[in-house]
Structure 1
Amino acid sequence: MSGVESAATRTASPPLSVSVRPARTDETVAGSASSNFTTPERVGEVSRNYQTSAHGQTMSPDDDNDDGGFGYEKFVECIKKIVAISDGIRDGWQLQTKEGWDNGHFITKKVSQILEKSSGEGTKSIVVFEYHIAYNINYGVPVLCFVAWKQDGSSLQMEEYCEYNENFSNSDVLSTLTQLDHPVLCRPFLTLHPCRTREIMDVFLSKSKNPVVSWLSVISPFINLKLEDEYIKAC
């Protein structure tokens, strides 16, 4: 098995011990499909449903491990289009490949952000994020995972990140953010849990030219990942 071509070599933060509140309901976003799904109002609606449904009954990959209409080949097609758009606007997404793996294609992007604690304490930090979009074979969906480093080179821990991100300042929302092994690199990354991604994808599969972009338009606001209009226009 060969190494990852052009992939980042930094080590992600060590596994964390984080308490996650138990699941509460079985709400879904499957019934919220709309032909006008790329408008800000539509993105906001599905985003709110995603945040709510993340507390629902967790779907195990053993419950339904087919690709649900969104297989790996379609995923690769979508992320290559993302990279093509990114190259045109110099947005930083890069295609990575790990040969010998059934899901060896993924994309990465590094970006610096100034974070301020959501508690209003006024503490600010410059943090470098490295975002990855990969394909989870067990769930048959894309996953967004990331690592982050502070100015001193140390990893940003999940508890710290939640202090800086008001979307995760409430412990109830921790069930949407967890630490899982990267689907390709097999190292721990902070990850938006894929258990409800299938339901989000189902909203877009028959309507979007690029379901990965449409899915990103829903989840990116939760982690302050800016999605340029050029990507949305391609849907």
Structure 2
Amino acid sequence: MAAGSISGTEFANQANIFFTLSVKNNDTWDLKSSPHDRNEVYLTKRCSVEVTDNTQASTNPNIAEEEEADAQESDVACLATPPSPSSSVCQFEYHIVYSASYGVPVLYFNAYTKAGKLLSLDTIWNSVPQHYQDRFQHERWSILTQQEHPILGRPFFQLHPCHTADLMSKLIPNSCSGNYLLSWLSAVGPVVGLKVPLSYVTR
């Protein structure tokens, strides 16, 4: 196993640990099994995210998480403040799926307007915080791509896993120690508006 990568079994164990943390923190991550293989698990979450065109914004949008009042809804609001006139609230669906090819988790997601229209790849890229845009400018379409979901077979946006093992080898030198999935999501989630509540690491 390459440095910074984990096995499918380790991913399943990490997913169960992360799901337990989600329940303890009243978050809405769900742990699901593949319809093709019960031993293949993945995590899902839906939430509302304030989307701003950061190619013209001088500051990053303030995206934070708070639970919606309606307990019947599976969505969770990620907004600390009402959207500004130049931004809009969109529904994001995030999936964490294991890639056997790369030996790492992969973040898949789709984003929709309130009317149910799928956001374009350009719109998604423009909503990425400016410092990430600057960092990935020359490889933007290799980092952020649209691919078929490996389990559901539907088009999803994807944060490409090509650099994940290298990133994780620096964050967690020994991949099997610590909470690999939590560390990974804390590092990559903010690129596409997904933040891990501080309570995950303080409780």
Question: Fold-level match, TM-score > 0.5?
Answer: yes
What letter is aligned with 1:228? P
State the match for 1:172 in structure 2.
138
Structure 1 residue 232 displacement after superposition: 3.0
**Deviates further, 139-148 or 91-100:** 91-100
User: Match of 1:142, SS?
Assistant: strand
CA offsets 1:41-77 (integer angstroms, 9 cap, x no match): xxxxxxxxxxxxxxxxxxxxxxxxx565510111011
Structure 1 residue 99 displacement after superposition: 3.9
User: Match of 2:157, SS?
Assistant: strand
CA distance in structure 2 between the aligned counterparts of 1:172 and 1:184, rounded to whole angstroms: 30
Q: 1:160 aligns with which of 119, 123, 133?
A: 123
Q: 1:229 aligns with which of 173, 198, 203?
A: 198
User: Match of 2:153, SS?
Assistant: coil
CA offsets 1:161-199 (integer angstroms, 9 cap, x no match): 122223465542513211122222222211110111111
TM-score (structure 1 length as normaliser) = 0.64
CA distance in structure 1 between the aligned counterparts of 2:104 and 2:45, rounded to whole angstroms: 19
Conserved 8 A contact 1:147-1:155 = yes
CA distance in structure 1 between the aligned counterparts of 2:13 and 2:173, rounded to whole angstroms: 14
**Deviates further, 218-227 or 89-98:** 218-227
1:96 and 2:22 matched: no
Q: 1:231 to 1:157 in 2, by over 3 A?
A: same
Q: 1:229 to 1:126 in 2, by over 3 A?
A: same
Query: Please, what is the CA RMSD of the aligned residues?
Result: 2.4
Q: From the two aligned structures, give the one with the greater strand fraction.
A: 2
State the match for 2:8 in structure 1.
72
CA offsets 1:191-221 (integer angstroms, 9 cap, x no match): 1101111112223152742111111121122
Q: 2:112 aligns with which of 135, 139, 149?
A: 149
User: Match of 1:190, SS?
Assistant: strand
What letter is aligned with 2:128? N
Conserved 8 A contact 2:112-2:118 = yes
What letter is aligned with 2:164? T
Conserved 8 A contact 1:103-1:184 = no
Q: 1:197 to 1:153 in 2, by over 3 A?
A: same
Write out the 4+ residue segments of structure 1 that deviate beyond 6 Å after TM superposition.
none
Within-5 A mapping of 1:82-161: 82-101=18-37, 104-118=40-54, 119-120=56-57, 123-161=86-124
Instruction: State the number of aligned residues.
Output: 169
State the match for 1:47 in structure 2.
none
TM-score (structure 2 length as normaliser) = 0.74
State the match for 1:59 in structure 2.
none
Conserved 8 A contact 1:79-1:106 = yes
State the match for 1:216 in structure 2.
185
Structure 1: gaps (5+ residues): 1-65
CA distance in structure 2 between the aligned counterparts of 1:82 and 1:177, rounded to whole angstroms: 24
CA distance in structure 2 between the aligned counterparts of 1:199 and 1:103, rounded to whole angstroms: 27
User: Match of 1:227, SS?
Assistant: coil
User: Match of 2:187, SS?
Assistant: helix
CA distance in structure 2 between the aligned counterparts of 1:152 and 1:100, rounded to whole angstroms: 32
CA distance in structure 2 between the aligned counterparts of 1:84 and 1:205, rounded to whole angstroms: 24
1:192 and 2:159 matched: yes
